[in-house]
Amino acid sequence: MEKDFPWCIVRILTGFVIAPIVASISYTVMAFGVSLFFPFIFYVAGGVFLATLLIFVPVYIGLLWRRWLSFWRVVGTGSLVAFVLFFLLFLVNDQSFTSMGAGSVEYVVDGRLTTAGYINLFKGTMLVTLAAAIGSVVFWLIAHSPLGHPER
């Protein structure tokens, strides 16, 4: 009976629970630092789990259907989807504010992004992409790594 149990489904489901947690923790530490970890981790984790359910699970089903489950395809696809999602969220964001900044650095002046604003957008996009790559590596290691698969 033990041999007939589909452990691959348990590994995939475990991957979809652990990988978003790791991605949330890594993004929160990289973006906000350790001192602001607890105020922001719950918001970040909520967004990451929502994106996992609505976007990454269907993308994974597509990868599974095409049998594109190699390490580089899973990590590359997870990173690319996060990059595109973050960029699209920026594009559809309400740009109605006229001024925004942090300290003496202005990110938006008269409703337009400044150079510092574009640099900040690039930094945020890269942090999201890196956190997604870390989460994708963790997911692949849990769900598809040949380590721990006696039948492979």
Q: Which residues of the chain have pLDDT under 70?
A: 1-5, 94-101, 148-152
pLDDT at 1: 41
The pTM (predicted TM-score) of the whole model is 0.86
Distance CA 11, CA 15 (A): 6
Q: What is the pLDDT of residues 78-97, one digit of tens each?
A: 999 999 999 888 777 766 66
